[in-house]
Structures are given as C-alpha cells and as structure tokens.
C-alpha cells in the first residue's frame, strides 16, 4: 500500500502545463517538480548570479566546446520529475530545439548554488542529489554558501552518487571526468554573506 505522502501531487504532464502557464504569467517564478512534489525555486540574488557567471567563464576557458546552460531537465524516471539547475554543463548545441524541459543524456554536470531560504537543505542537499543520480548525470556540483563548501558528487549508481567530496572555499578541487576541470574555489569567498 502506498502512503499518501508518497503519492505525487500531480502528473508530469500537468506539471509541464503548469510551468508553461507560469512562464507566460508569473515573472521570476522558477517551478520544479522533484520527488513527486511541486516546488518553486527562489529568484537568484546578485552573489548567486555572480557565482554562476564565474563558473561559466571557467568552464568555457577550460572546455570551449561546452557551455553552462540555464536549461530545465527531465529527471527521475520513476516519478517524472523536472528540475531547473542553476547550471547545466553540456555541448554548446546540446539543447537546441529541445524546449523548456530536456532529457539528460548529453549532460556532463549540473550545478546548484544554495539560496538563503528554508528549502535549501531539503532541495539542494537531499532531493536533487538523489534525482540527478537516479537520472545518471555524471557530476553534481553543489556550491554551498551556507557552509562555505563545495561538494562534488560523482559516480552515479542509479540511486545515489557513490563518490562525494567536500572541500572548503579556498581549496582547489578537480571536477572528475567527463568534466575534467580543476576548480580553484578561492573567489567563492567573495560571494557569501
């Protein structure tokens, strides 16, 4: 018997329709549907945006054939989830013609930068690592402004990431293959409260 809390709030098709409606009518709303539950991602603050810019520049300099996209992704085959990472690293043309919510086969890495809101812990540290691992995304990079740490999740096994490496801001961490980029996290110290 399925518990009420385990039932999705809506069908994936209903979420897609809702997200299209919100895109037309509600500026700044970034809906997600993870683990069967509807959520709204906060509008990024200036430091959050600067972190994404910084990472975009590093990725393009190290791997010019790639781009850090702002692309919604279909995640979690089991419940038909939808996530909008802060960055999605893939070939520059990976999402041409794909629409609002793309499949993940060409994704090398997803990036989340924590926001200063009450849902960050559940969303970025619990639900998304699981959803991204279930989908088989090779690397999940979490830039955690609350703890001033970078967490690199890799080696998805279809349920979770088998490798999780946490380093404090200020150290260099290697983003593993297929990304293959060293990341000096010293500048991140400038964009936390």
Q: Is residue 166 part of a domain?
A: yes
Q: Is residue 30 part of a domain?
A: no
Gyration radius (Cα) of the chain, Å? 16
What lies within 8 Å, CB to CB, of 122 at 6+ separation is none
Length of the chain: 193
Q: Is residue 153 part of a domain?
A: yes
Q: Is residue 11 part of a domain?
A: no
Which tokens belong to 107? 């994704």
DSSP lists the bridge partners of residue 95 as none
Tens-digit pLDDT profile for residues 113-167? 988 766 666 777 888 898 999 999 999 999 999 999 999 999 999 899 999 999 9
More confidently predicted of 189 and 37:
189
Question: 182: burial class by Cβ within 10 Å (0-12, 13-18, 19+)?
Answer: exposed
Tens-digit pLDDT profile for residues 72-114? 899 865 456 888 899 999 999 999 998 888 999 999 999 999 8
Query: Among all chains, which residue has been given the structure tokens 């609350």?
Result: 146
Dihedrals phi, psi of 20, to nearest 5 degrees: -65, -40
Q: What is the pLDDT of residue 58?
A: 97
More confidently predicted of 125 and 16:
125
Q: What is the CATH number of the domain that holds 120?
A: 3.90.1570.10
Distance of CA 76 to the CA centre of its chain: 13
- Report d(CA 38, CA 32) in Å as an integer: 6
Q: What is the pLDDT of residue 81?
A: 84
- Report d(CA 110, CA 137) in Å as an integer: 7
Q: Is residue 24 part of a domain?
A: no
Q: Which contiguous run of DSSP H or E holds residue 37?
A: strand 37-41
Domain that holds residue 110: 44-71+84-191
Specify the number of domains making up the chain. 1
Which tokens belong to 130? 């699981």
């Amino acid at each position: 018997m399925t518990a009420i809390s385990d039932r999705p709030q809506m069908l994936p098709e209903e979420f897609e329709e809702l997200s299209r409606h919100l895109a037309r009518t509600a500026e700044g709303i970034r809906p997600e549907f993870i683990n069967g539950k509807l959520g709204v991602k906060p509008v990024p603050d200036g430091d959050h945006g600067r972190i994404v810019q910084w990472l975009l520049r590093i990725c393009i300099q190290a791997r010019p054939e790639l781009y850090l996209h702002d692309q919604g992704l279909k995640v979690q085959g089991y419940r038909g989830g939808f996530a909008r990472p802060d960055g999605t690293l893939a070939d520059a043309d990976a999402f041409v013609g794909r629409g609002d919510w793309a499949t993940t086969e060409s994704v090398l890495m997803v990036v989340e930068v924590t926001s200063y809101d009450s849902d960050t812990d559940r969303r970025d540290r619990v639900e998304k690592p699981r959803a991204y691992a279930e989908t088989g995304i090779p690397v999940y990079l979490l830039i955690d402004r609350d703890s001033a740490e970078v967490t690199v999740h890799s080696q998805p096994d279809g349920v979770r990431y088998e490798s999780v490496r946490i380093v404090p801001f200020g150290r260099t961490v290697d983003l593993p293959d297929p990304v293959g980029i060293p990341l000096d996290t010293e500048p991140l110290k400038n964009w936390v409260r």
